[in-house]
Amino acid sequence: MDPRASVLWMRFKAHRFASTLTILLTLAVGILIGTVISKGVKGQEGKSRSSDATPLTIPSPQNLSNQFSQIAKQLEPSVVNINTESVIKTPQRRRGTPNSPDEENPFDDFFDRFFGGQGGGGGQGPGSARERSLGSGVLVDPKGYIVTNRHVVEKADRIRVKLDADPPGVLHDAKLVGADPETDLAVIKIEVDHPLPAARLGNSDGMQVGDWVLAVGSPFGLQETVTAGIVSAKGRNIVPNRQFQSFIQTDAAINPGNSGGPLVNMAGEIIGINTAILTDTNSYAGVGFALPSNTVATVYNQLISPEHRVSRGSIGIEFNAQENPAIARVYGVTAGITVSNVVAGSPADQAGLKVGDTIIAVDGKTVKTGDELVADIASRKPGSKISLGFVRNGKKQETSVTVADRSKLFASRLGEDLPGSDETAPKESKLGLSVRAVTPDMADRLGITAGKGVIAQDVRPGSFAEDVGLARGDVILEVNKQPVNNEEQFARIVATLKSGQDVVFLVRQRGSGPQDGTIFLAGTLP
């Protein structure tokens, strides 16, 4: 080969090697730089430079608006959780009975629909079950006196109270002091060896629509629950024929279990006892009702008296709860209360009052509304006399009326037992049953002939009467084919019954109407 060509070839090879080496080194450096850059980017994906960040600091506590919290702290020790237990007898023969008392019963407590038992325990044998329910109450006396709702504790075999300061599992047995069915209030008492924190009572008349209020209690068993709202309305009458239940309406959340707890104002005073809610779901819907504290105080003072009952005067008349101008125009009056019914044998009946008379004055004092009339007469002592001014056929007249005891006058309608100390109270028979005559008013509602049958006033738990299925409010028309039209006839028939004898009752069940028939309830006397 030509020496010159050989030199050129060697130079070319050296140049190509150098170029290749340069390219490889460049690629290596590029890859290395890319890797470093990639790692740097990945490391900064969730982070940024923080050298200029200012640490957060927690400020000192500030009392921006602590009135609610102060009231809650003040009231919570006075509010208690109430647990009740009762054995409910459920005779097999009455289950599923059309129009049974449990299904359609006009005498049933209105509030049962909202604050019934929240669960049950195991059965206690055939035809019975143990029912447990929860409610609230509020201490009003350091000695252990507690105000709650009657429907929270009625028919309870055992009442137990959980205090705010008690450790978990500690419950105090409570005794029922007294209860008032017309206001759904009750007083219970626990025994303790030290003073308890009692809440202060306020004047409900001072509350105005729009005022702030707090509801305190144990909704669904959740103790120490506080909700806030306003007074939505006053003077709400939500239950027919309950003339002594004029409620404060509130939108503070009230749920099952709140019943019996206090509604308090911004001074931390009780201005109501939470009693009912209006809802389609059995839970809070923005409309709750509390019985005013002024009513609570009046009832409480009578329930803690030696008689442990509320005595109210009545003359035995009825009238429309809502005023209607058409009634006044037809009867030719401009003011007053027009009588729609006079109870047979009542003081009003004996004094000569009639349907259509319009009452305008009591003892010379003008009365303009039914609430005024009821409040006046209810405050009178049974046996006292009043002068009643009224208008009949456009002419003013006056008559003297002797006030009666409302609980006795309307005993059958109220479905309540009279106290055992009352000499007029019915005596219990060997059947474990006491009865009263059916009033004309009740006979008309039931569609039976006036003067026929007796109403079961009291049925002792575990008695023969309860075992065969009789319940308070049932109307007994016959016993062993013999008609019973009054207490004396019933007593004479029962006196002839002997142990081992079959007994058959012909009964119109409680809550039945004229369209419903009668049934037989029977058994063998032990």
122 pLDDT band, cuts 50/70/90, is very low
Residue 116 lies in a domain: yes
Residue 241 lies in a domain: yes
Q: Is 186 helix (H, G, I), strand (E, B) or coil?
A: strand
Domain termination site, one of 165, 190, 215: 190
Average pLDDT for 93-106: 37
266-314 pLDDT tens trace: 999 999 999 888 776 666 777 889 999 999 999 999 999 988 888 888 8
| Cα–Cα distance measured from residue 78 to residue 165, given in angstroms and rounded to the nearest whole number | 10
108 pLDDT band, cuts 50/70/90, is very low
| Cα–Cα distance measured from residue 256 to residue 221, given in angstroms and rounded to the nearest whole number | 9
Residue 16: both structure tokens together: 């190509």
- Domain of 113, CATH number, reads 2.40.10.10
Which residues are paired to 186 by β-bridges?
Answer: 148, 179
Residues whose CB is less than 8 angstroms from the CB of residue 113 and which lie 6 or more positions away in sequence, other chains included: 282
> Are 444 and 517 in the same domain?
yes
Instruction: Name the residue among 278, 302, 307 with its Cα closest to residue 290.
Output: 278
Q: Is the pLDDT of residue 98 over 50?
A: no
Q: Is the pLDDT of residue 18 over 70?
A: no
> Are 206 and 180 in the same domain?
no
pLDDT at site 27: 60
For 139, counting Cβ atoms within 10 Å of its Cβ (0-12 exposed, 13-18 middle, 19+ buried), the class is buried
> Are 110 and 125 in the same domain?
yes
State which H helix or E strand residue 163 sits in: none
Q: What phi, psi does 149 have (nearest 5°)? A: -90, 145
> Are 394 and 433 in the same domain?
no
For 266, counting Cβ atoms within 10 Å of its Cβ (0-12 exposed, 13-18 middle, 19+ buried), the class is middle
**Per the structure, how many domains does the chain have?**
4
Q: Is 15 helix (H, G, I), strand (E, B) or coil?
A: helix
Measure CA of the first residue to CA of the last residue in the chain; give whole Å.
Answer: 144
**Contacts by 384-390, CB closer than 8 A, 24 or more apart:** 384/313, 386/315, 386/362, 387/361, 387/362, 387/363, 388/315, 388/351, 388/353, 388/359, 388/361, 388/362, 389/359, 389/360, 389/361, 389/362, 389/364, 390/336, 390/353, 390/357, 390/358, 390/359, 390/360
| Cα–Cα distance measured from residue 208 to residue 253, given in angstroms and rounded to the nearest whole number | 19
Determine contact, residues 291/184, Cβ cutoff 8 Å.
Answer: yes
| Cα–Cα distance measured from residue 127 to residue 165, given in angstroms and rounded to the nearest whole number | 39
Q: Is 446 helix (H, G, I), strand (E, B) or coil?
A: helix
Q: What phi, psi does 520 have (nearest 5°)? A: -100, 135
> Are 170 and 205 in the same domain?
no
Q: Is the pLDDT of residue 34 over 70?
A: no
> Are 262 and 207 in the same domain?
yes
> Are 287 and 348 in the same domain?
no
Determine contact, residues 252/214, Cβ cutoff 8 Å.
Answer: yes
On whether the pTM is more than 0.85, the answer is no
Give the range with max mean pLDDT: 141-150, 470-479, 494-503. 141-150
Any idea what the Cα angle at residue 505 is, between residues 502 and 506, rounded to 5°? 140
Domain termination site, one of 384, 407, 430: 407
> Are 293 and 245 in the same domain?
yes
Q: Are strands 145-149 and 120-123 parallel, antiparallel or unpaired?
A: unpaired
155-172 pLDDT tens trace: 788 899 999 888 888 899
- Domain of 483, CATH number, reads 2.30.42.10
Residue 42 lies in a domain: no
| Cα–Cα distance measured from residue 118 to residue 376, given in angstroms and rounded to the nearest whole number | 39
Give the residue numbers marked as catalytic. 151, 184, 259
Domain termination site, one of 373, 392, 407: 407
> Are 167 and 108 in the same domain?
yes
254-274 pLDDT tens trace: 888 888 999 999 999 999 999
323-336 pLDDT tens trace: 777 877 777 788 88
Residue 331 lies in a domain: yes
375-431 pLDDT tens trace: 888 888 888 999 999 999 889 999 999 998 887 777 655 544 433 333 334 445 678
- Average pLDDT value over all residues in the chain: 78
Could you tell me the CA-to-CA distances from 16 to 6, 10, 11, 23 in Å, in that order? 16, 10, 9, 11
Residue 427 lies in a domain: yes
Residue 495 lies in a domain: yes
Mark out the alpha helices in 76-183 (DSSP H runs): 150-153
Q: Is the pLDDT of residue 10 over 70?
A: no
Residue 256 lies in a domain: yes
Report the percent of the chain where pLDDT is more than 90: 25
> Are 92 and 165 in the same domain?
yes
pLDDT at site 186: 94
pLDDT at site 91: 46
> Are 298 and 317 in the same domain?
no
Residue 15 lies in a domain: no
Average pLDDT for 502-507: 89
> Are 419 and 456 in the same domain?
yes
Provide the domain limits for residue 237.
200-303
